[in-house]
Amino acid sequence: MRVRTPTWRHRTLKRRILGEIPLLSERLDAGESYEAAKLLLGWAAPRIVWPDDARSLVQTRGKSASTLLKR
């Protein structure tokens, strides 16, 4: 598996998430990945839009998470 070098978009998204979830850095630094995952899920869940029909689907191939979040 190829590991990508973070781009400015990834770093901007990371800063945004860490800024909006005050305890996330603390949990990650402490190695508490399960607690960090719960915090991330709570942040991401309200931002996920589920389409009502096939016309509302978004093509995600080749798009980064930060690009999709801006949509």
Tokens of 50: 């589920």
**pTM to 2 decimals?**
0.60
Residue 1 lies in a domain: no
- pLDDT tens track of the chain, all 71 residues? 566 676 777 788 889 999 999 999 999 999 999 999 999 999 998 887 777 777 777 778 888 877 877 75
Residue 49 lies in a domain: yes
Of 5, 12, 3, 1, nearest to 65 by C-alpha is 12
Q: Which residues contact 6 (CB under 8 A, 6 or more apart)?
A: 14
Domain of 59?
Answer: 8-70
Residue 3 lies in a domain: no
> Residue 39 is inside which H or E element, if any?
helix 33-44
Eight-class DSSP state of 34: H
Residue 32 lies in a domain: yes
Residue 2 lies in a domain: no
Q: Name all contacts of 50-55 with Cβ < 8 Å and 24+ positions apart.
A: none
Q: How many domains does the chain have?
A: 1
